Amino acid sequence: MNVDFYHHTLGAEEKQAVSDTLDNLFIALGPKVEEFEEKFADYLGIPNVVATSSCSMSLLLALEALGIGEGDEVITTPMTFVATSNAVLQSGADLKFADIDPDSGLIDPQEIEKQITSKTEAIIPVHLYGQMADMRAVREIADAHDLCVIEDSAQAIEATRDGVSVGELGDMATFSFYATKPMTCGNGGAIAVHNDELAEKLSELRLHGVTKSAADRHGDEYEHWDMDKLGYKAPMTDIDASILMPQLNRLEKQRKQRKDLVNLYREKLGDHPDIDLVKRKGEPSYHLFTVRVDNRDQILSELDEYNIDCAVNYRAVHTLEYYREELGYRPDDFPKARMFGRRTISLPLYPDLEREKVEYVCDSLKEILQ
């Protein structure tokens, strides 16, 4: 047997949608992007969505729109993809890590409080593996210190926890439509934002700060565009938006398919003495199924011999070379994240993964651990 780590679910509907878009005059930032923004905002129940080229760029644009940069401090978690903390570095702000809750891998609100100073301007909680961070606690801390909250929701479009959904309590939430995410167009992203003025600013910042896009200008008599802020080139395209829209209708069905598979994994692995499951918080999106084991690297290579593709999400960011060599972090600066990251393995998970394959993965892992 051979088990891939991930399969996307793009098919006939998306092919038709792309083909329709290619018949249009506009293929870059145009009416399809606008339609996607409205539909995704409806789905999330948040007034504004600005569609971008990635979650990475969305995080940077979010910080820029809030005016956060040199002299400011931003708190996030070391247990995430490097995109989160890299965006803080790229903004010019000082990065502050807060250690994690060792059972869930999520940022620990008490550790956030320890990192707050008079220079702190924002917190970026990450909804790891599709489980939401404790947003009620994060919002309370942010309100007490007058801080902004940007939710890195790359893995958690559909999640809820404690009666709160993704993006509800944050000032902004950023999303990823990268190839391995539950909804994808290869590369793509979005920012959900409650404040209308910030939405306007984000939408200009994603296109070099110019005041009108080509599609905006089309049809009228020629009008000069101007540029009033220094922005980036990071818009979504109409081609991407047309691939994404059909997937919005499948999100909940596919989340349930993944949930069933996760329940099967948990049933088969839950009481094994050498496997630690990640503690479930709220109702996750079930983006990744990650377990923790000792001698992780050895087990990864043995799983490979069983033709099972796995991934590591993640080694703690502060233990990576750039962070050690250029920024001076030491592995033990955030011991809980370091330990978590030394033991994680993400097992295959996607809507059309067969139950027999999940059983094969579980049986193989148990054999290896014997």
Ligand X SMILES: *Cc1c(COP(=O)(O)O)cnc(C)c1O
What SS3 state is found at 154?
coil
We find the least distance from the C-beta atom of residue 68 to ligand X, in angstroms, to be 18
56 scored as a contact of ligand X (CB under 6 A): yes
Rounded Cα distance between 32 and 323, Å, is 39
Active-site pick, 96, 114, 119, 181: 181
Site string for ligand X, 186-225 (x = CB under 6 A): ---x------------------------------------
Of 6-14, 151-159, 205-213, 341-349, which segment contacts ligand X by CB under 6 A?
Answer: 151-159
Q: Which stretch binds ligand X (CB under 6 A): 53-61, 69-77, 233-241, 359-367?
A: 53-61
* Binding of residue 54 to ligand X (CB under 6 A): yes
Using the rule CB under 6 A, is 131 a contact of ligand X? no
Phi/psi for 243 (5° steps) reads -70, -35
Residue choice 48, 80, 131, 257 for contact with ligand X (CB under 6 A)? 80
Q: Would you count residue 237 as binding ligand X (CB under 6 A)?
A: no
Please, which residues have CB within 8 angstroms of residue 24's CB and are 6 or more apart in sequence?
30, 31, 32, 238
Query: Whole-angstrom Cα distance, residue 360 to residue 364?
Result: 6
254 binds ligand X (CB under 6 A): no
Distance CA 75, CA 84 (A): 10
Closest approach, Cβ 246 to ligand X, in A, equals 19
Of the listed pieces 7-15, 131-139, 147-155, 349-357, which binds ligand X according to CB under 6 A?
A: 147-155
Among candidate residues 234, 138, 219, 120, the one with its CA nearest the CA of residue 187: 234
Q: Which of 273, 258, 264 is nearest to 349 (CA)?
A: 258
Q: What are the Cα distances from residue 31, in Å, to 24, 28, 58, 91, 212?
A: 10, 9, 20, 30, 14
* Structural contact between residues 2 and 307, judged by C-beta atoms closer than 8 angstroms: yes
Of the pair 155, 247, the CB lying nearest ligand X is at 155
181 catalytic residue (yes or no)? yes
* Interaction of residue 55 with ligand X, rule CB under 6 A: yes
Asked whether position 155 contacts ligand X by CB under 6 A, the answer is yes
